[in-house]
Structure 1
Amino acid sequence: MAAPTRPLDPIVLLHGFGADRSLWRQVIPLLPASRDVIALDLPGHGSEAATAVSSIDAIALDLSDRLEALGVSRAHLVGHSLGGAAVLGLSALGRVAVRSVTLFAPGGLGPEINGGFINGLSSATSAEALDPWLGVMVADRAVLPAGYAAAAFRQMQRTGNAATLAAIAEALFPGGTQGFTLQAALLALTVPTRIVWGRMDRVVPPVHAQTAPGFAAVHLLDGVGHVPPIEVPALAARLITETVLSAG
């Protein structure tokens, strides 16, 4: 009698600061249909707007609790920016067996960050105030659909998470710096690891990619800013898929 087929380990997607799981909207349809894909909102964001956190450890604990509730004990982890930091925090926590790691412009690999962007994103009181900071995210504003700022601001109003975002920003990015480091967590990885950065990133300096250990594949993308999942979704999906498949 043939042994039962085990379900494939899912792909878990984590967005960055000030965004929500819809960041991956263009990427998800391009990922392998054979895999379950789980896009989670970080605490303080989207559907988790009421959950306040003040450290990467707290973010990792919250995410691991939710993954456990979903029955996920093994997963391929993908994170963008703060979500990348969360991936490294989850891997260090050890409650989820990590099968592979794909990081897009991850936080935690250096102290520098665009503090004006963080403050602008968390304190905007209108779509007009938010719009220029959204433009900072990308190398070419044309990739942002018409009305993007208005839609993003409506979402923030709907979730009511402005105060929570401001508190998270103050806790994690004091004085316009990254108040945490995840180099040790990155160095401790023993699974296929890929780091992707846009050369035109104006939020987190792409020079941080130079700190990557030798076992990590590093991709520096020409003409791309801080959010490859929005700017080059097909390439983002391809790199995620290649990392997942390399885990066997």
Structure 2
Amino acid sequence: MKFAVIVFPGSNCDIDMYHAVKDELGEEAEYVWHDAESLEDYDAVLLPGGFSYGDYLRSGAIAQFSNVMKEVVKAAEAGKPVLGVCNGFQILLEAGLLPGAMRRNESLKFICKQVELKVENNETMFSAGYDQGEVITIPVAHGEGNYYCDEETLSRLKTNNQIVFTYEGENPNGSLENIAGIINEQGNVLGMMPHPERAVDELLGGADGLKLFKSIVKQWREANAVNA
């Protein structure tokens, strides 16, 4: 399986993403710059955290207009796995690939700590490796992770089982309904604020995030074996 790790000016978690896929899973991965004109050669797309374009205007607001985002939209529409973490999640929201918006943390402070997440939906290509209701530990690092949407959107998220992860115990940023990660209706685009790519090795404090990347690979291989 071949992953594209999108790099925007200001990205700073692209190396972590690359390491999780290339070194921990042994899958193919390449850095793809923001002005790329095609993602056809890749099976999955990863949008890393950081401060794309300095987070001017709003987090992800400028990155959504990058040339590569047209290709990310095409990849999503084609059913390829698309994962956006932290700033990547913010970009997916700004690009309209996921519903809702991101506001500043309730504390108005940047937070960087380990948090507990509850797996609300383990029937996705990103979460199938977890047990339903499993509580995992993943780090967060953001200043604008307070997820918000209107009542109609929230109702739709719940009805379609699109809420994949919620904060368990402490809600670090004030996110609506403790939401930490959501998926699109098609089921192939996931956005989450916590960083699974920073939790792939016990030496670094835990490996709960590795199951997410393993889930992507397993589901992709099973789907392609059926289609072969």
TM-score interval w.r.t. the shorter chain?
0.3 to 0.5
TM-score, length basis structure 1: 0.41
Higher relative contact order, chain-length normalized (CA < 8 Å, sep 6+): 1
Bigger strand share: 2
The structure with more radius of gyration: 1
TM-score by length of 2: 0.44
Higher helix share: 1
